[in-house]
Amino acid sequence: MNDKVRSLIRENNILLFDGAMGTQLQDRGLQPGQSPEEFGDRHPEVIGAIHADYLQAGAMFLTTNTFGGTSFKLPHSLDPQAFNRKMAEVARGVAGTRGFVAGSVGPTGELLAPLGKAGFAELVDAFARQISGLAQGGADLILIETQFDLGEIRAAVVAARRVCDLPVAVSMTFESGTSLTGTSPLTFLDTMQNLGVDLIGTNCSLGPEGLEEIVRAMLPRARTPLLVQPNAGLPILENGRTVFPLQPQAFAERMTRFPALGVQGVGGCCGTSPAHVRAMAKAMREVRINLQSPTSHPDMVLTSRSTSVCVGLEEPMVVIGERINPTGKKQLTAQFQAGEQSLAMEMAVQQIAQGARILDVNVGAPMVVEENLLPELVSRLAARFSAPLSIDSSKVEAIGAALECYPGSALVNSISGEAGRMESLGPLCKMFGAPFVLLPLAGKDLPETSTQRLKIVESLLRKSEDLGIPRHLILVDALALTVSSKPESAKHCLQTIRSCREEWNLPTVLGLSNISFGLPARELLNSTFLTMAMSHGLCAVIAHPGARRVQEALAAGEVLLARDPQAKSFVRNYSGWAAGDGAVTVKAADSSTASAGAARKEVGTL
């Protein structure tokens, strides 16, 4: 049956969902304070009757009475899996072959650590039990709805993927522009698209007008069909009772605007009734989906809980701050060995101030248990900074643990051609919707020529395709090797950048500082090479964001590549520029921090 839902989506049909369950239950005997789940378990015939009304009204999707169906919310008397299965069976019985069953999965009420105390694995387990019940009971679609936290949603999606292969719809609720824990509609969309869910939606909190704004915020990058389930207007108090004022006909008229915007799924949330669905179903007969092409089409989007960073030819170059890495840094190594993170947190502050839009996080050093420290540091950085992270480790377990506690789409750095690496990390990245750096290294020899590099890329792409990993999760490292030992390597790197674009339309990244190893004036060579690489289509760079020449190269490069409209940003920052201002300023900035000693030393290794 799930293939049928996927076909329905693919064939661009309007998907008619049903309306509210809660308000219907109140009309049919649910007492204030009583759990709808408990009520439903006792009176499945009432639930069935509501489903039947919605089906009769024209709904294609009947939503199970399982909104609070995880162990966190269910009364202890109810077994989550059995309860969810029972509710799904009720809906299934009514839908028969005339409709589909959407298994409702609401929030657990718990917050993931560090915001709350729930662990990722704990949430996944709870969702998994609920969803396996829904699947067993005959659900056609898992509808993760009315969610407000990106991390929790991810746990639910991971759980759904673990226990079934049903299509997954995810719907978030937004108040005053962001979700309760700070996620914007666009960042929600970006993260969900990375996860590869089947429908992305918004529901509850607002009426059709309010949700139209949310939808419009998502549209510029929406490649996935959208689902909208508004309340019947904004609630008002009438005689001490909450009332949703939008009447069926008015609601239905409002709802017809969504297909015109390209939205595929429509339904109702709080305050909507079979009458609303009937009016909507009727109104939708006159309407067709006006498919919108995204106006922004980056190659890749990285997200934190609150922020999206686009990577692509039409996007400004993305600087990935390289400094949280103990290699060659004594003080940082010592801190990591002692389990301390203050220096890393300072480096994060500094790099963001210097223009890094992603922070690479590497804790690999002798006597550091990366599996413990990496997720811990990632978690702290994620709680404090909005810049998405790049999780950099040679240890698959450490990366897995870090991905679990990261709410957005972190970058995984990296998957090379090393035996078994793609097989172990690839599925992890796919499951977590985590973009990754594809590193064209295989075997002992460095691939000097672009031809050699492209061959490794090609073989890794084949593997990733076999694993079902979508292209928009792949960022190729073009390999900046040291020109002092391999003089042609810069040219091969530029060619690799171009070929990845021409052959596979893939974006590229590189670690900048290698190129100048062993030569004087490294910042000059680095910034010059960065300029070249930008002009050949490089999209991101792993670098020290404080290097003034690198900043200048980026600023001037954006103007020349027509990505700084009217050169506004350049004019703002460089009007007083003179060629003589240089690393002097950078050094001053570095030495003004508490970690001056370490920072100065590291500037020296640029």
Binding site for a second copy (CB under 8 A): 483-484, 487-488, 490-491, 494, 515, 519-521, 523-525, 528-529, 531-532, 534-536, 547-549, 552-553, 555-557, 559-562, 565-567, 570-571, 574-584, 586
Of 45-53, 266-274, 513-521, 579-587, which segment contacts Zn ion by CB under 5 A? 266-274
Of 58-66, 149-157, 198-206, 440-448, which segment contacts Zn ion by CB under 5 A? 198-206
**By CB under 5 A, residue 270 contacts Zn ion:** yes
Q: Which residues contact 420 (CB under 8 A, 6 or more apart)?
A: none
**By CB under 5 A, residue 204 contacts Zn ion:** yes
**By CB under 5 A, residue 155 contacts Zn ion:** no
Residue 561 interacting entry, from a second copy, Zn ion, none, C-beta within 5 to 8 Å by type: a second copy
| Amino acid at the residue 315 | E
Residue 172 interacting entry, from a second copy, Zn ion, none, C-beta within 5 to 8 Å by type: none
Residue corresponding to tokens 């998994």: 128
Distance CA(436)–CA(194), nearest Å, equals 11
**By CB under 5 A, residue 228 contacts Zn ion:** no
Element (H, E) at 431: helix 421-432
Cβ distance to a second copy smaller for residue 207 or 546: 546
Residue 344 interacting entry, from Zn ion, a second copy, none, C-beta within 5 to 8 Å by type: none
Distance CA(435)–CA(401), nearest Å, equals 16
Structural tokens at position 596: 């001056």
Structural tokens at position 151: 């991390």
Residue 270 interacting entry, from a second copy, Zn ion, none, C-beta within 5 to 8 Å by type: Zn ion
Q: What is the DSSP letter of 145?
A: E
Q: How far is the CB of 546 from a second copy (least distance, A)?
A: 11
Cβ distance to a second copy smaller for residue 257 or 536: 536
Q: How far is the CB of 537 from a second copy (least distance, A)?
A: 11
Distance CA(101)–CA(106), nearest Å, equals 15
Contacts (CB under 5 A) with Zn ion, residues 507-546: 536
**By CB under 5 A, residue 211 contacts Zn ion:** no
Structural tokens at position 412: 């995984």
Q: How far is the CB of 581 from a second copy (least distance, A)?
A: 7
Cβ distance to a second copy smaller for residue 172 or 534: 534
Q: How far is the CB of 312 from a second copy (least distance, A)?
A: 15
Do 395 and 368 contact (CB within 8 A), yes or no?
A: no
Residue 234 interacting entry, from a second copy, Zn ion, none, C-beta within 5 to 8 Å by type: none
Cβ distance to a second copy smaller for residue 430 or 548: 548
Structural tokens at position 95: 């839908």
Residue 382 interacting entry, from a second copy, Zn ion, none, C-beta within 5 to 8 Å by type: none
Residue 269 interacting entry, from Zn ion, a second copy, none, C-beta within 5 to 8 Å by type: Zn ion
Q: How far is the CB of 538 from Zn ion (least distance, A)?
A: 11
Cβ distance to Zn ion smaller for residue 463 or 498: 498
Residue corresponding to tokens 């069926």: 248
Q: How far is the CB of 496 from a second copy (least distance, A)?
A: 13
Q: How many residues bind Zn ion (CB under 5 A)?
A: 4
Do 273 and 24 contact (CB within 8 A), yes or no?
A: yes
What track of x and - describes contact with Zn ion for positions 20 through 39 (by CB under 5 A)?
--------------------
Residues present in the chain in total: 606
Cis preceding-peptide flag for 114 (omega within 30 of 0): yes
Structural tokens at position 15: 């998907």
**By CB under 5 A, residue 269 contacts Zn ion:** yes
Structural tokens at position 456: 């490794």
Distance CA(48)–CA(115), nearest Å, equals 38
Structural tokens at position 153: 């949603």
Half-sphere exposure of 489 (CA within 13 A, CB side): 19
Residue 491 interacting entry, from a second copy, Zn ion, none, C-beta within 5 to 8 Å by type: a second copy
Residues 106, 111, 116, CA angle at the centre, nearest 5°? 170
Q: How far is the CB of 145 from Zn ion (least distance, A)?
A: 9
Identify the CA nearest to 481 among candidates 455, 521, 509, 512: 512
Q: How far is the CB of 503 from a second copy (least distance, A)?
A: 17
Q: What is the DSSP letter of 410?
A: P
| Amino acid at the residue 560 | L
Q: What is the DSSP letter of 537?
A: T
Residues 197, 202, 203, CA angle at the centre, nearest 5°? 130
Residue 578 interacting entry, from Zn ion, a second copy, none, C-beta within 5 to 8 Å by type: a second copy
Residue 218 interacting entry, from a second copy, Zn ion, none, C-beta within 5 to 8 Å by type: none
Residue 32 interacting entry, from a second copy, Zn ion, none, C-beta within 5 to 8 Å by type: none
- E-strand ranges in 456-495 read 474-477
Distance CA(391)–CA(371), nearest Å, equals 12
Residues making contact with Zn ion (CB under 5 A): 204, 269-270, 536
